[in-house]
Structure 1
Amino acid sequence: MRILYVITRSDVMGGASVHLLDLASGVQEAGHEVLIVVGGHGIFIERAKERRLTCVSVNNLVRPLSIISDFRCYLELKRIVSAWKPDLIHAHSSKAGIIGRLVAKALSIPCVFTAHGWAFTEGVSASRRFLYRWIERSVANLANKIITVSNYDRSLALRSGVGNADLIVTIHNGMPSVEENSAHKAPSEITRLIMVARFDAPKDHAFLVCALSSLTRNDWTMEFVGDGPTMPQVKQLVTDLNLEDKIFFPGACSDVFDRLSRSDVFCLISNWEGLPLTVLEAMRSGLPVIASGVGGVPEAVEQQKTGFLVAKHDHDGLVSALSTLIGSRELRSDMGIKGKSRFFSDFTFELMLQRTITVYSEVTKV
């Protein structure tokens, strides 16, 4: 089978980008031919080459809505698809999902679209929700199948009139297994907290900083791994709250697994989510999770079993969860063990790959 993937952005490595690279690698290793089309020239292309994946850049595939750029992108993608002649197009991210489905329909090629969290989800501005809900309703049936990464997103689509129950299927995100770190974590009286996330919407680093500043205890440190446009404001907030000796900003790192292995608690505070891969990475590493109970997060994190789910903008609830886990090594260990077990039963890459290839076979009749 020849499968053409399309995704909007090459300049950042978000969850959708990591998901697509993992998926394309797995599909290629399973014996299928793969081509990835992406907008621009950025780090995504470098990562694709490292995995020996063929990647083509298109200049007019950009994130903002633009009638001229979007039409040019449609023509450019149509030329690429016509030349390569895939058996299936699998589109990821909102803009690529729209244009990819239009091209697939025009060329009578089966198409799958994965929604990594809807652009009309709760937490997004009302005007944006209205616009993207209308767009997604209009193009939903151009796909042979829509994959959502959480049951939350599937239910949201159906409630919003996007597609129907037969069209939309949930396939939870999965992460590849990694070789266990043989080095034992050095015992410490300091609880090491970590959040791995881009400094940009929908993440809310500032809210977490404010909660940390309200803790009555001092036996903790916080590491924010990632970069992005809101980092300067968060750094300034840390300075204003006199927390420079407690909160650290290593930037975007290539050793995330090792950093998770050295940590004690994983945090992810967000205004909206699909099903974040970083939560699954943390569970894979045996960490208890404190996360906002938004989107598909509650489908991974079991409340008071593998971590704590905190309501959006619940300052006191977040402070309480932080204090509870910082104060109990035994609870951290118990939740981490249960979270790791849940990862290996429900969120492995192999499970996700198998389910996705089954969808490919259904829509192509192969």
Structure 2
Amino acid sequence: MRIAYTITRSDDLGGAQIHVRDLAAALKESGHDVVVLAGGGGVLARQLEERGVEVVELRHMARPIRPFVDFRALRELVGHLRRLRPDIISTHSSKAGILGRIAGRRLGIPTITTAHGWLFDGPPIGRRQKMVWRIERSMAPLAQRIVTVCESDRQLAIDSGVSGPDRFVTIHNAMPDVGLELRADPGVAPPRLLMVARFAPQKDHATLFRALATLLELDWELDLVGSGPQEEATRALAESLGLSDRIRFLGMREDVPELIVAFQAYLLISHWEGFPRSILEALRGGLPVVATDVGG
């Protein structure tokens, strides 16, 4: 089978990108003909090519909603899909999910959309949130099935009227197992804490920092993996709370499974979540997890 994956960006390595990378590589190894179409020529594209998966860069695919640019991205995507002639399209992330479904309908190609979370979830954000919900509801009929990565996301979509229950199926996130050499030892003292998350409104580094600021009498260290638009503000908050000597900002890392070995606990403090792959990765590595009770 020839399978075309689409995802909005390949220049970062969040949960959706890792999901596509692992699925595409596994299907390629199983004998399928797999191609990934993605915006940006970044780390995901490189890792896919290292695994023998064909990558097509979409020059106009971007996260912001800009109708003229989005029209060019759709035209570009349709052109590539017409040339590639896949048997099925699998779309991931919001913008690629929208344009991929439209392209699939135009070309008569069955399309499956995976929702790694809903942009209309989380705290109310006014008209933009309502617009996103309307778009998702109008796009739902263009997919043969919509995959949610946790049951709470499926129920949210049904309850909010995105589509009926027959269109949704929940397939939980998963990842390959690792050997004992990549298992952590939580009993080592003093505890080193790890959080892997983008510096973005969804993640709540601020609450974590304020909680840790009340525990300065204890011997702990926190390492943060990730990047994002709120990184500078997060660094400034750490400094203002007197935590600069306890918190390290490691930036984007591709070796998180190897990093986990050196830590004693994993944290994920968020305002909303689906099924975070980072928690699954931490549990796989033997770390206890402290996380907010939100989402999946």
TM-score in same-fold range (> 0.5): yes
1:286 to partner: Cα distance: 1.4
- Per-residue displacement from partner, 1:292-311 (whole Å, max 9, x unpaired)? 11111xxxxxxxxxxxxxxx
User: Which residue identity is paired with 1:220?
Assistant: W
> 1:123 Cα deviation (Å)?
2.4
Question: Does the 8 A contact of 1:10 with 1:44 survive in 2?
Answer: yes
- The CA deviation at 1:186 is 9.3
2:241 is aligned to 241
1:47 aligns with 2:47: yes
Corresponding residue of 2:11: 11
Distance 2:222 2:94 in 1: 33
Alpha-carbon contact 1:119-1:128 (below 8 Å) kept:
no
For each residue in 1:54-111, what CA deviation from the matched residue of structure 2 results, as whole angstroms up to 9, or x when unmatched?
0001111111111111111111111111111110000001110111001111111110
How many angstroms apart in 2 are the aligned matches of 1:103 and 1:5?
A: 12
What is the TM-score with the length of structure 2 in the denominator? 0.95
Aligned-partner Cα distance in 2 for 1:261–1:128 = 41
Deviations along 1:147-194, one digit per CA (max 9) or x if unpaired, are: 000101100100111121111000000111122217874964311111
Q: In 1, are the aligned partners of 2:184 and 2:287 still within 8 Å (CA)?
A: no
Deviation at 1:133, TM superposition (A): 0.7
Using a 3 Å threshold, how does the CA distance of structure 1 residues 284 and 157 change in structure 2: closer, same or farther? Answer: same
Residue type at the aligned position of 1:107? L
Please state how far the C-alpha of 1:205 moved relative to its aligned partner: 1.3
CA contact (8 A) 1:196 1:226 kept: yes
Structure 2 residues not aligned, in runs of 5+: none
* 1:1-366 matches, cutoff 5 A: 1-123=1-123, 125-181=125-181, 185=185, 188-215=188-215, 217-296=217-296
Counterpart-to-counterpart distance in 2, 1:222 and 1:204: 15
Count of aligned pairs: 296
Residue aligned with 2:5, SS: strand
- Using the alignment, how far apart are the partners of 1:82 and 1:143 within structure 2? 18
Q: Which amino acid aligns with 1:79?
A: G
Distance (Å, rounded) in 2 between the aligned partners of 1:281 and 1:139: 32
Helix, strand or coil: the match of 1:80? helix
**Aligned in 2, Cα 1:182/1:20: closer, same or farther, shift over 3 Å?**
closer
In structure 1, runs of 5+ residues without a counterpart are 297-366
Residue-by-residue CA offset, 1:290-341 (whole Å, 9 max, x unaligned): 1111111xxxxxxxxxxxxxxxxxxxxxxxxxxxxxxxxxxxxxxxxxxxxx
- The amino acid of 2:283's aligned partner reads M
SS of the counterpart of 1:223?
strand
Q: Which amino acid aligns with 2:258?
A: D
8 Å Cα contact 1:174-1:280 kept in structure 2: yes
TM-score normalised over the length of structure 1 = 0.78
